[in-house]
C-alpha cells in the first residue's frame, strides 16, 4: 500500500487530502491558495515527496449526466502538469456532488455559510479521497 493524495483542483483554491501510510484511511486535509497551475503542480509534487506519497487522485468534474465540460478539460490538463512535476501517477476520479456534500457537512456542523469558502475545498478533497479509498477495499 501507499499514501494517496486527493486533489480538488480549483482556480484560486485547491483542496488537498492525504491518506494514512497504508492508503486505507483519509487523514489530514488542507487548502492551498495558488492561481498558477504550474506553480501549484510544483507545490503538490513537493508536498507528495515530503509525505512519501505514491499516487495522486484528482477530481474530475463531470456534469450530472456524466458528460464532460470545460472544467473537466481543465482538470485533465492539470493532471498532465501534475504527473510531469511529480513523476507520480494521477488517477482522475469522478467528483460529482463532492462540493455539494462538503457544503452540507459544513452546514451540519454549524459553520456559517460565509465561512465555508475557507474549508470547503479541503472537505471536498477528503470526500474525494474517501470515495477513492472505498473503491479499493476488498468486499
Q: Is 109 exposed, middle or buried (0-12, 13-18, 19+ CB in 10 A)?
A: exposed
Per-residue pLDDT of the chain (139 residues; tens, 9 = 90+): 789 999 999 999 999 999 998 888 888 999 999 999 999 999 999 999 999 999 999 999 887 788 888 999 999 999 999 999 999 999 999 986 666 665 566 566 666 655 556 577 888 899 999 989 989 876 6
Q: In the Cβ-directed half-sphere of 109, how many Cα atoms lie within 13 Å?
A: 11
Q: What's the first-to-final CA gap in the chain, in angstroms?
A: 17
What total number of domains does the chain contain? 1
Taking the C-alpha atoms of residue 1 and residue 76, their distance in angstroms, rounded to an integer, is: 25
Residue span of the structural domain in which 81 resides: 3-136
CATH number at residue 31: 3.30.420.140
Amino acid at each position: 500500500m501507499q499514501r494517496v493524495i486527493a486533489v480538488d483542483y480549483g482556480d484560486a483554491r485547491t483542496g488537498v487530502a492525504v491518506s494514512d501510510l497504508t492508503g486505507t484511511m483519509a487523514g489530514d486535509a488542507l487548502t492551498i491558495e495558488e492561481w498558477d497551475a504550474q506553480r501549484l503542480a510544483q507545490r503538490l509534487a513537493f508536498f507528495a515527496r515530503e509525505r512519501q506519497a505514491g499516487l495522486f487522485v484528482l477530481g474530475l468534474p463531470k456534469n450530472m449526466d456524466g458528460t464532460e465540460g470545460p472544467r473537466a478539460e481543465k482538470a485533465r490538463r492539470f493532471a498532465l502538469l501534475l504527473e510531469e512535476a511529480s513523476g507520480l501517477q494521477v488517477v482522475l476520479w469522478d467528483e460529482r456532488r463532492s462540493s455539494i456534500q462538503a457544503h452540507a457537512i459544513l452546514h451540519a456542523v454549524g459553520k456559517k455559510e460565509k465561512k465555508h469558502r475557507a474549508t470547503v475545498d479541503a472537505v471536498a478533497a477528503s470526500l474525494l479521497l474517501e470515495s477513492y479509498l472505498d473503491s479499493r477495499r476488498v468486499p
